[in-house]
A and B are shown apart, each in its own frame.
Chain A
């Protein structure tokens, strides 16, 4: 159950787009589409932003989108806004009734 690999940081100016990657192995990502993304502001609980690779829960702006290719999933935030500054974590079902998170990416809005 090794953590999924995310870049520690990402940044962009307001209005720009930023993509955060999340890399796993064939044993976790490879066979499943149970990839989700979570936003966490300092001192707060995580919030679901994307599920099943590219679906948004009700209330999440369509500026947030997800994709997956092979063993890498991606979260793209378009039209960056100040409130998007937060930590982002990916998650995947890893088989054998276990789940694994990425190490997290700190998104800075310049």
Chain B
């Protein structure tokens, strides 16, 4: 069955960088665009970034552009999100999600909690 498992979260200091990973199983990410979505504590969902199935096209939320990079390793069936210059307001659960095309965000991981604190 389709599974997405995020890793790489934790407590980090302001100004540092973090790399999150999302390991997919049950399908090949070669055939799908993949997203990152985050949710600050007690808040709503915020779309963060998407990477096309071939990895050639990447798009980012305006609020984070310049500080984040999405990438994928199709050989490892894994998607990554690098976040730089972390701020307190980046504290959130970061989810990866599969883009089902017209179907929407059809599968989600359990999320990785990132806490930015000194």
- What residues make up the interface of A, taking CB atoms closer than 8 Å to B? 1, 3, 34, 36, 38, 45-48, 51-52, 57, 89, 91, 96-104
Contacts and interface: CB of A to CB of B under 8 A. Distances in A.
Interface string B84-118: 00000000000100001011111011110000000
Interface of B: 35, 37, 43-47, 50, 57, 59, 61-63, 95, 100, 102-106, 108-111
Judged by DSSP, the binding face of B is: mixed
B10 to A, nearest CB: 18
Contacts of B47: 1, 91, 98-101
A101 B46 contact: yes
Given A51-B102, A57-B103, A103 B44 contact: yes
A57 B95 CA distance: 20
B50 to A, nearest CB: 7
28 contacts: A1-B62, A36-B103, A36-B104, A45-B109, A45-B110, A46-B105, A46-B108, A47-B108, A48-B100, A48-B103, A48-B104, A51-B102, A51-B103, A51-B104, A51-B106, A52-B103, A52-B104, A91-B45, A91-B47, A97-B50, A97-B57, A98-B59, A99-B50, A101-B44, A101-B45, A101-B47, A102-B44, A103-B44
Contacts, number: 67
The winner among A1, A34, A48 for most chain B CB atoms within 10 A is A48
A45 B110 CA distance: 5
A99 B33 CA distance: 13
A27 B3 CA distance: 33
B97 to A, nearest CB: 8
Nearest to B97: A46
A57 B105 CA distance: 11
